[in-house]
Copies of this chain bind each other. A is one copy, B any other.
Amino acid sequence: MDVYEKLKSLGLTLPEPPPLGGLYAPVKRTGNLLFCSGQGPTLKGIPLFTGKVGSDLTVEEGQAAAKACTLNVLSILHAYTGDLNRIVSVVKILVFVSSAPGFFQQPLVANGASQLFIDLFGEAGRPARSAVGHNELPGNIPVEVEGVFEVT
């Protein structure tokens, strides 16, 4: 089953690539690697979630936000590659979590991103990963996800 059919079977729709929020390229290629700019949990540029995980948002909401970030990562990869099936490996992701004081479950939040990559790409989608807490993120989003991908 290809990636687009898997998205469909999960009940997910690939969003439009988010409007640029500054001077950067959504994706940059070097060799067989694609470096993706950090994406927030937005739809058409509007945050679906704001605030800090551990106070404003629960872990479950944080996971949903991480999944929304990941859909945006996929949207810019689709726009860049023209075909998500060309992605052969999710190499590395970095998950930034806006964290309330005393919130220590950033890895649980980050699972919301990893799970979608694994659902879509199987074990090749299981990334190396760091998940860390931040006092503030752009636009008061709770999660931001960046990644490195290998393509054919």
List residues of A whose CB falls within 8 A of some B CB. Answer: 21-28, 30-33, 35-38, 89-92, 94, 96, 99-108, 110-111, 114-115, 118, 126-140, 144, 146, 148, 150
- Whole-angstrom distance between the Cβ of A98 and the nearest chain B Cβ: 8
Query: How distant is A58 from chain B, measured CB to nearest CB, in Å?
Result: 16
Number of copies: 3
Q: Which of B32, B106, B108, B127 contacts A24 (CB 8 A)?
A: B127
Would you call A91 and B138 a contact (CB within 8 A)? no
CB distance from A55 to the nearest CB of B (A): 12
Closest residue of chain B to A88 (Cβ to Cβ) is B30
Residue of B103, B146, B148 near A35 (CB, 8 A) is B148
User: Are A126 and B23 closer than 8 Å at their CB atoms?
Assistant: yes
The residue that A108 contacts in the complex, of B22, B92, B146, B150, with Cβ under 8 A, is: B22
Smallest beta-carbon distance A24→chain B, Å: 4
Out of B26, B101, B129, B140, name the residue touching A37 (CB < 8 Å). B129
Contact partner of A130 among B38, B103, B136, CB < 8 A?
A: B38
